[in-house]
Amino acid sequence: MSDGELVGSYIVPVHPHTVLAADQNEGWGRLRDAFGEAAQRIKDSGADLLIIYSTTWPSIIGHQIIADPNPEWVMVDNDFHDLGSIPYSFNIDDKFAHAWNQANENRGLKSRTVAYHGFPIDVGSVVALKLLNPDNAIPAVIVSSNVYANRAETTVLAKACMDVIKATGRKAVAVTAMSLSNRMFTKPIDPKDDKIHSLKDDEWNRKILEFLGEGRLEDVGQLSRTIHRQIRVNKVVAFKPMWWLSGMNQNRNNLTGEVLAYEAIHGAGGAVVHLDPAASGAGDKEYDEDDVEYFLGERNVLDAQSDETEIVSEIVSAKPSNSNGPALWEPTESKDSVNSAAAPKPVGAYPHARRVGDLLYLSGVGPRQPGTNSIPGGPIHDADGKPLEYDIKAQTHAVVQNITRILEEAGGSIDDVLDVTSFLVDMDRDFKGYNEVWAETLGKVGPTRTTLAIRALPTPIAVEMKVIAKAPSLE
């Protein structure tokens, strides 16, 4: 059996106007025609599977995948109910849905299938399947958009999907059901007066479409957070479908793109875009975000920085801080203690550091992040003690950062470190990575060092350092 592959990708708008009211506005009609063109191209590609990632189906417990082989109901939009009803009866590939669900779990994602009679298939998926697959000739799957998923989680979701496509030899088409700018008019409008809500939204939409027209999908993926801030109203789901679609395309930036239509739908930006996997030669890849194979369950860990416009940062602090490890303490206060709100909280009654004469003695410093208590590089085991994959280099970097914070709080700097005792819970696995980060950081400062292997640390971390530093002068 030949390897499965993605034979095409499409971006399509979500609102029901293209199905129910294409004759009421010329733009809606052009979008409808573009859907028809896309449907023809999909047919011609010989695709045997349609995969819909829909932004109008939010989920909060991981991702959900429709696995009812024949979901049937009548869809009515929450806002545009006066345009009419859309009865649907779809042909779902439940075997693929179950396999994808399993592949998600294999890659560390939370995932479940949904096969309940009467489950409300969302408007974006209904519109996409009605118009791209009008005779249900191609079996489909639909996946939700997780409200909290960051780029790492969304990328891994795509990789899990590709695992199944490859293993089953499918010729798949990936579809994201989404708006570009999503601000609608907040009052009813006459259909003939429809236009993009603002010039700024229009300009951003055109920029995005210029990139997509050149096949630069990964560039749009990497701009997702910026796009979200610029032209997205905070509805339930942030602008993340490009992460998924780019993940489905090996994060490529040189696809062959074509914008089939771009129009306003009640003020929001709606486009039909075709991305063919054939290399266009355009867009040399400039890849500057981590590639991620496996999701570690710590939603802030794998992204280079957390982004305040995502709900990601909220969910980290929403986790009880002692869910995986001992309770946290306020650092103890005494005459010579040095404590920093910018360092992680202690796990017992001790200060962050204590000054004795010209020397500063630091309590053991680990990688936990102040405030969120999350562990860069991931915890080494979950709350039940089950081992997890983790990144020793990220943990070591975080330790050095925490040491820097404490020393700066005391009025000094990392250059004051004199002597370090390092503790590793897995010398065989971790010494190399730890040593590399040491060389780039403290190695340049030049303290004496002792490295010990120990059985465990009180929190699910792999590295901790005990530091003695020169105390800054008291003047």
Partner 1 sequence: MGLFMSKGEIVAGCLAPHPPHLVYAENPEQNEPTAEGGWEQLRWGYERLRESLADVEYDAIVLLSPHWQTYIGTHFLGLPKFKSLSVDPVFPNLFRYHYDLSIDVDLARQIHDKAADAGLAVKMMENPDFRVDYGTITTGHMFNPQWDKPLVVLSSNRSRDYYSVEVMQEMMMELGRVTREAILASGKKVVVLASNSLSHRHFTTESAIPEDMSKEHITSHAMHLWDMRMIEYFRTGQSQRILDEMPEFTEQAIAESDGGGLSWLLSTLDIPNYPGILHGYGTIIGTGNAIVEWPERNHKEGSE
Enumerate binding residues for partner 1 (CB under 8 A): 57-62, 74, 76, 78-79, 81-82, 84-85, 110, 112, 114, 116-120, 122, 148, 183-188, 233-235, 266, 299, 314-315, 317-321
The answer to whether 122 and 237 have CB atoms below 8 angstroms apart is no
Nearer to partner 1, 294 or 361 (CB): 294
Provide the minimum distance between the beta carbon of 429 and partner 1 in the complex, in angstroms, as a whole number.
27
Nearer to partner 1, 122 or 310 (CB): 122
Nearer to partner 1, 36 or 297 (CB): 297
What the block records as the tokens of 399 is 């330790």
Provide the minimum distance between the beta carbon of 59 and partner 1 in the complex, in angstroms, as a whole number.
6
Provide the minimum distance between the beta carbon of 318 and partner 1 in the complex, in angstroms, as a whole number.
4
- Between the alpha carbon of residue 292 and those of residues 153, 306, 368, 390, the distances in Å are 8, 16, 21, 12
Nearer to partner 1, 8 or 124 (CB): 124
Nearer to partner 1, 199 or 474 (CB): 199
Provide the minimum distance between the beta carbon of 416 and partner 1 in the complex, in angstroms, as a whole number.
35
Nearer to partner 1, 79 or 293 (CB): 79
Alpha helices in 112-216 (DSSP H): 123-132, 151-168, 199-213
What the block records as the tokens of 182 is 């999503």
| Rounded distance between C-alpha atoms, residue 471 and residue 475, angstroms | 12
Provide the minimum distance between the beta carbon of 446 and partner 1 in the complex, in angstroms, as a whole number.
42
Residue with tokens 């901790």: 464
Nearer to partner 1, 226 or 322 (CB): 322
DSSP 8-class letter at 379? -
| Rounded distance between C-alpha atoms, residue 126 and residue 141, angstroms | 12
Provide the minimum distance between the beta carbon of 198 and partner 1 in the complex, in angstroms, as a whole number.
12
| Rounded distance between C-alpha atoms, residue 223 and residue 123, angstroms | 26
- Between the alpha carbon of residue 269 and those of residues 48, 199, 227, 246, 355, the distances in Å are 30, 11, 13, 20, 60
Across the chain, which distance is largest between two alpha carbons, in Å?
83
CA angle 108, 110, 113 (to 5 degrees): 125
| Rounded distance between C-alpha atoms, residue 351 and residue 10, angstroms | 56
Alpha helices in 232-380 (DSSP H): 241-248, 312-318
Provide the minimum distance between the beta carbon of 164 and partner 1 in the complex, in angstroms, as a whole number.
23
